[in-house]
Amino acid sequence: MSPDLNAETAPSIRPGEVAVDLPATFDAGLYFIGRIRTPWTKREDCPKNAGESDTVCTIELDERYAAALDKVETCTHLIVLYWMDRARRDLVVQTPRHYGDGRGTFALRSPVRPNPIALSVVKLLKVEGTRLSIQNIDCLDNTPLLDIKPYFASVDSRPDAAVGWHRDRANEAK
């Protein structure tokens, strides 16, 4: 288990899951640029994905980045990147409870990954100073914020995209 893994909050390994030894040192540094405030303090209460909830939540951006919000209020949707600070980082095969069998980490949207970076496309409701009211986020309260980018439907939308294993599973259930 990696020394920076939060052993207290990390779930134990399930049958079929595979952990690896992580590299001894990091390759890059990050700045947490703010926090995401949500009503959820326990994983079981948290939405499983961003589309599952329209609860209004708040991005609290560090004041030093206030100028970086110029024109953000003109965006209807934003890509928000955040750091899943309570996730373990060493699993390469995971068995999500709701799927039952193993999947490679990079075929999953699980917070458990070598770099626990999450993303959601959120609806922007309001910008007040360095506070952004948003909908469609799925993180625990106080999750560190990494970045905010405009969502361009013309570039980012891929209506023909598919996740084969998920589609096949849905078809089998029919």
57 touches ligand SAM by CB under 6 A: no
Rank residues 14 and 129 by Cβ distance to ligand SAM and give the closer one: 14
CB of 67 to ligand SAM, least distance (A): 27
Closest approach of ligand SAM to the CB of residue 170, in Å? 17
State the Cα–Cα distance between residues 103 and 91, nearest whole angstrom: 10
The residue within the footprint of ligand SAM, chosen from 57, 61, 87, 134 (CB under 6 A), is 87
In the complex, minimum distance from the CB of residue 147 to ligand SAM, in angstroms, rounded to a whole number = 13
Contacts of 120 (CB under 8 A, 6+ apart): 50, 79, 80, 82, 136, 137, 138
Using CB under 6 A as the binding rule, whether residue 143 contacts ligand SAM is answered as yes
Question: Can you give the binding site for ligand SAM, defined by CB under 6 A?
Answer: 43, 46-50, 84-87, 109-111, 118-120, 138-140, 143
